[in-house]
Amino acid sequence: MKPRIKASRQDDPGSDGSAGVEEITLSEQVYRLLRRDIMRGAFAPGQSLRLELLKQRYGSSFSPIREALNRLRSERMVISTTSRGFSIAPLSVEEMWDACETRILIDCDALRRSLANADDAWETRLVGAYHALTLAAQRADQAAEPSEELEELLEARHLEFHHALIGACRSNWLLDLSTQLYAQTERYRRPARAGATAYGPERNVDDEHRQLLDAAISRDVEGSVAMLAAHYRKTAQFIERIISQPQSQPKSQARHA
């Protein structure tokens, strides 16, 4: 049996927002830490991931690191190199749009199914997820300085809200694919936000989330689907503008989508 360690749970936080504790393998720990760093932009696109560097960074032996890298390769976060090594997957506008449009296909179908099956429990979860997202956004906006902890909390609450929208779709495949595509767009959003000051005055993402909530709990299927697709495409347009520019702009606190 592989050795296990205690770590904070990544799901089902307590009522006070704190995470519980679970036992995970060393490989799972390295996977979570490396994936988090990829999402944060700690490694540049295309950067080689030397095993010795990762061993020192994460305090692990080579075997758990290789297991984590193979998992991330299956998620298209890293790629194999000709020398049997790994590097961070490159970013491209074309791939970003491919991920965005595929996410729209998956999530809009899941949303239609979710609204068809919606009940009181689904609505309660959705309203709660929206409230938690709003609180996390307020804390991030009010912080005196950028905070990785608040950024991670905001990202988690954002994912929970979008998952709550489609949570009644009754398809594990759709939910799994949605999670994978969310991760791909997140990988583009975070570095893009680091190179911009805001989405701009023409867009209020908080209002977009509120409108999505209102349309969903009103069981407005066509309105909800159209809003969700537009929500994703606006973010993709923002990312395209940013990653097509020279990377010489200040850090940001731009909102999620």
Domain of 221, in residue numbers? 93-244
- pLDDT, residue 254, reads 46
pLDDT given for residue 10 in this prediction: 52
**Residues 103 and 219 reside in one and the same domain:** yes
Q: Are residues 78 and 116 in the same domain?
A: no
The CATH number of the domain holding residue 53 is 1.10.10.10
Residue where the block lists tokens 């309203």: 127
In a shared domain, residues 106 and 154: yes
- 38/165 same-domain check: no
The pTM score is 0.80
Q: Are residues 166 and 52 in the same domain?
A: no
Please answer whether residues 36 and 29 qualify as being in contact, where contact means their C-beta atoms are separated by less than 8 angstroms.
no
Chunked in runs of 10, what are the mean pLDDT values of the chain (257 residues)?
54 49 83 90 90 93 93 92 86 93 98 98 98 93 81 91 98 96 86 54 83 98 98 92 64 49
Q: Are residues 33 and 108 in the same domain?
A: no
* Same structural domain, 35 and 111: no
What pLDDT is stored for residue 53 in this prediction? 92
Residue 167 sits in a domain whose CATH number is: 1.20.120.530
CA dihedral angle for residue 71, residue 75, residue 76, residue 79, rounded to 10 degrees: 10
Claim to verify: residue 62 and residue 121 sit in the same structural domain: no
83 shares its domain with 134:
no
Residue 200 structure tokens:
């701009």
Residue 236 carries which DSSP code? H
* CA-wise closest residue to 243 among 138, 108, 100, 146: 100
215, 227 Cβ separation under 8 angstroms: yes
Query: Final residue of a domain: which of 41, 65, 88?
Result: 88
The total number of structural domains in the chain stands at: 2
* Domain edge (last residue) among 65, 88, 111: 88
Note the pLDDT of residue 200. Answer: 55
Q: How far is CA 120 from CA 28, 169, 214, 242, in A?
A: 35, 14, 15, 41
